[in-house]
Amino acid sequence: MSDTHAQSVAFVRDTMLPEQEPPATERGVIKWLRENLFPDWINAILTLVAIYFLYKIVSGAWPWFLNGIWSTDSLAECREILQGTTGACFSVLTERWNQLLFGFQYPNEEYWRPTLAFILLFVAAAPLLFAMYVPRKVLIFTALYPFIAFWLIWGGTIIVPIVALVGFIAAYVAFKQFERNSFAAGLGAGVLAAAVVWYVGGFLSSAMSGVLALPEVPSRDMGGFMLNFILGTVCVSLSLPIGILLALGRQSSMPIIKWICVVFIEFIRGVPLITLLFVANVVLAYFLPPGTNFDLILRVIIMITMFSSAYIAEVIRGGLAALPRGQYEAADSLGLDYPQAMRLIIMPQALKISIPGIVNVAVGLFKDTTLVSVISMFDLVGMIRGPILASTEWNGVYWELWGFAILMFFPVCYGISKYSQWLERQLATDHR
């Protein structure tokens, strides 16, 4: 009886079987290749064709890099060493690297100054770009950085940037004091306070010209990639707040402000940037008093900033238009006035929507800084097309120099693009 009953009861396992590895086609490199490069026969053919073309490009370019010459004084010496074999003449980079980076007139012994300003830029930008990871105290250095960078790059006494800083502080304090009456009163008081401080500070800086003074470097002596970087950084930084104001002004209910912004935006967007640069270089001088020395780099910064701010204004206006009407009504229901509603509710959402467009304008603006070469400013492209290729030693070297230009511009533009994608993921709270 017991044996029959034991045979009729099913066996139940009381321990788990050990895990087995998935098949080879479902793990590791083979899985990645199967899913990304060979998911079906059409993609497999396209992958093989792409590999073939990559092989032809690499196999053709590899000898040119492998046989590169780095230690000659001219193109003729490179060709004499190569004796007809394929090879690059990278000697032009080792010979003229300082001119490509800093221009041919910036003092050699002062290269540490723009280099230090470039390094400090990352420290100053960190609390703005990565606010959630950097202490807010670093914002103090961010506010001081423009004045420090000006002193490092242009030189002169440190009293000049200090006076400029004090002028901005006085303008802010005056604005906050008189803003209680009206915005116009605050703005007027701020402008007046800054003007008084800068006027008095002009005499002070002249009297103390030797205090903590670095050798002055005029703007005409600046060039190379340093000039492109200065123009790109300054113009992008200035065009974003100006673009926000233009976008808000275009949507204003006050007709005068609205039409001023509309005319400005449409006019600037309808004129090529190169035309504005010619205006900054030639035409603007006719509207200034005789003997006025208006720095060329400052004129170019103004024109490029105007150009990019008009495009950013339209991008931000698109972000504002994309917000549902309920957001504006929610701000009104909370009893917020116009500045509070824009600062706390409307503008953060509009900027979040506008990130791809703003980044697109920023990348395009940074590349467009090379257009200053057409007005005889020796930026990186101007140095290549001008003093270097015009010299008898390096006339005929092209791929090496333009490849160096690509090596300078691509990481910056690609880094801006990748940062914008990271920022979009960080702000994508509605998809989490």
Alpha carbons 370 and 382: distance in angstroms, whole number:
8
- Give whole-number Cα distances, 193 to 161, 176, 178, 258, 391, in Å: 17, 12, 12, 28, 52
Task: Tell me the whole-structure pTM to 2 decimals.
Answer: 0.84
Burial readout 276-295 (b: 16 or more C-beta within 10 A, e: otherwise): bbebbbeebeeeeeeeeeee
pLDDT score of 4: 56
Q: 222-432: what fold?
A: MetI-like fold (1.10.3720)
Alpha carbons 276 and 364: distance in angstroms, whole number:
16
pLDDT score of 226: 93
pLDDT score of 332: 80
pLDDT score of 432: 46
DSSP sequence for 193-225: HHHHHHHHHHHHHHHTTTTTPBPP--GGG--HH
User: pLDDT tens for residues 129-139?
Assistant: 888 888 888 88
pLDDT score of 7: 57
pLDDT score of 15: 79
Q: Which residues of the chain are modeled with pLDDT < 70?
A: 1-11, 183, 285, 288-292, 429-432
Provide the token pair at 154. 């242009």
Do 92 and 401 meet the contact criterion of CB atoms below 8 Å apart? yes
DSSP 110: G
CATH 1.10.3720.10 positions along the chain are 222-432
